Amino acid sequence: MIEQPKNFGFGEDETMLRDSAKKFFSDHCSADKIHRQVAGNPDIHRNIECIWDKGLWQQITELGWTAACVPEAAGGIGMPLVAALALAEEAGRAAFPSPLISTFNTTFVLRECYSAAANDVLAEIAGGKPMSLAITNQQGSWEPTDTDVNIDNGQLNGNAWFVQDARKAEGLVVSARSAAGVGLYYVATDADGVTIAADGIIDLTRDQAHISFAGVTAIEVAAPGTGDTALAHALPAIQAVIAADMVGAGEWLLQTTVEYTNTRVQFDRPLGFFQAVKHPLVNVMLDIDRAKSLAYSAACAIDSDPERQEWANTVKLAHMAKANASDMAVFASSRAVQFHGGIGFTWECYVHLFFKRQMHNQMLFGDAKYHRAILADMLIGQAA
C-alpha cells in the first residue's frame, strides 16, 4: 500500500497560500460587496450578464493561484492538489465570482495529456489566462466519452453544453470525436467559428454557456482515442475541487446562520436556544466535516499516487467526496434559508448567493445520486 502523508500533504506552503487567500477574500470580497456586485438586478427576465472583477483576477494570478497546480516543467509552481482545494474552499466561502474553478479543472485535464501542446497551454494558465472545459453534451452527460463535437481534418464542428464560466474564459479545452475516438483540443474563445451563447442560470456568481463550433481550427492536446482517458484521469481532481468549493460555501452558510440564530430573539430567547434549530445546524456541521475530510483525502490520494497504483481507491474517495458534498450543499443551503425566516426568503439577504452557488455546484460533474450509483457498481458489483 502506498504510504500517504499523515497531514494530507498540507504543509507549511499550503497553509501560507490558504491563509493569504483568506486574507485576500476578507479584504476584497465581503458578502456585502459581492452582493452589490452581482445581485443588482432581481428581475427574473433580466438580460443574461457576466459580472466579475478582472482586477481581482489579475491580483490572484499575481499571487500564483493559477500557477499553483501547474507542473514546474510547464512553468508552474507544482504544488500538490490539496493546495488547489484550499483555494477552492476559500473561494466557495466567499462565493467568489471568477473562472478559478474552471481554470483549475482545465489544469487537471491538461496535466493528464502529457503533450507538448498541453504544456504550452498549461504555461498560459500559469501566466494567468482563464480557461474552461467544453466537454459536456446536450444531455448533460458526465461520461468522458460523450461529446456532441466532432473533429475532422483538424477542424471542430458541433456543440458543447453547460460550459462553466465560458464568457470569462479566454481558452477552451474541447473534447471531440473522430473515427479514432475522443481527443482533446485547445481553442481560443475568440477564434473564428466559436459562438458562445450564454445560458440564463440561477447562480449569480458564475456564468455558463453552450458553445457552437463551426469549422474551428484547433490545436490537439490529446490525440484521438486518448482524450477520454485523460478526462477520466482528471475527474477525481475535478470532483474533489468542486467538493472543496461546496465545503467553503457550506461553512459560510453554517456560520452565518449560527450567528443569526444566536442574535435573533423570539419567545424571549435567541432562536439558537431551540433544539429544532440547534440540532439541524449541528447536523450541517457533521456533514461539512465529512465532505471536507473526504475531499482532502481524495486529493491527497491523487497527490501520493502519480503512477495510479491504487487508482480504484482514489476514484472511490473522489466519488464519495462529491456525493457527500453535494448532499451537504443542499442541506446547508436549505437550513440557512429556513432558519433566517422571512428575511432569508428575500433577495436582500446574502444567503441566496450561497444557496444558488450550492445548487449549481451540487449538480456539476454529477450529483450525489449519480456518484452513489457509480460507487454501488464499484463496491457492491453491477446489479443483475
Partner 1 sequence: MADADRKDTQEQAEFRAYCRDWLDSNKPGQPPVRIPLGALELSDPAALQWLQVWQKSAFDAGLVGCDYPVEAGGGGRNNCQTIANQEMQRAKTPFFPNIIGLGMAAPTVLFHAQEDTKNALLPRLFSGEDIWCQGFSEPGAGSDLANQQTFAEKRGDSWVINGHKVWTSLAHFANWMILLCRTDKTDKYNGLSYFVVPIQTAIGKGVTVRPLIKLTGETGFNEVIFEDLVVEDKYRLDAVGAGWKVAMTTLSHERGAGQLVTPSAGGMTQENTKGANTSSPSALIELAKTSYRNGKTAADDPLLRDEIIKIMIRQEAFRQNQRRALVPALIDHPMRIPLQNKLIGTEFNQDLAEIAYDIQGAASSLYLNDDNALGGGEWQLAYMNSFGVTIAAGANEVQRNILGERVLGMPKSK
Residues that bind partner 1 (CB under 8 A): 3, 5-11, 14-15, 18, 251, 254, 258, 261-262, 269-270, 272-275, 278-279, 281-283, 285-286, 289-294, 296-297, 316-317, 320, 323-324, 369, 372-373, 375-376, 379-381, 383-384
Tell the smallest beta-carbon distance from residue 361 to partner 1 (Å).
Answer: 18
The DSSP secondary-structure symbol of 24 reads: H
Q: Which three cell numbers stand for residue 146?
A: 460523450
Task: Return d(Cα 299, Cα 322) in angstroms, integer.
Answer: 12
Q: Which residue lies nearer to partner 1 by CB, 363 or 375?
A: 375
Specify whether the CB–CB gap between 365 and 285 falls below 8 A.
no
State the DSSP H helix or E strand holding residue 256, giving kind and residue range, or none if neither. Answer: helix 227-263
Dihedral of alpha carbons 248, 253, 256, 257, sign: negative
Q: How far is the CB of 77 from partner 1 (least distance, A)?
A: 15
Q: Which is nearer to partner 1, 71 or 270 (CB)?
A: 270
Residue 349 C-beta: closest distance to partner 1, Å: 20
User: Which residues, including other chains, have CB under 8 Å from residue 282's CB and lie 6 or more apart?
Assistant: none
Minimum CB separation of residue 325 from partner 1 in Å reads 11
Secondary structure (DSSP) of 74-94: GTS----HHHHHHHHHHHHHT
Q: Select 214 or 282, whichever has its Cβ closest to partner 1.
A: 282
Closest CA to 352 of 283, 272, 253: 253
What are the phi and psi torsion angles at 249 (to 5°)?
Answer: -65, -35
- 316/360 with CB nearer partner 1: 316
Smallest distance, Å, CB 86 to partner 1? 8
Read off the C-alpha cell for 32.
Answer: 456585502
Do the beta carbons of residue 231 and residue 173 sit within 8 Å?
A: no
Closest contact distance (angstroms) between CB of 276 and partner 1 is: 11
Q: Which is nearer to partner 1, 259 or 348 (CB)?
A: 259
Least Å from the CB of residue 380 to partner 1: 6
306 vs 381, beta carbon nearer partner 1: 381
When the beta carbons of 177 and 372 are compared against partner 1, the nearer one is 372
Which backbone phi and psi does 110 adopt, to 5 degrees?
-65, -35
3 state SS of 205: coil
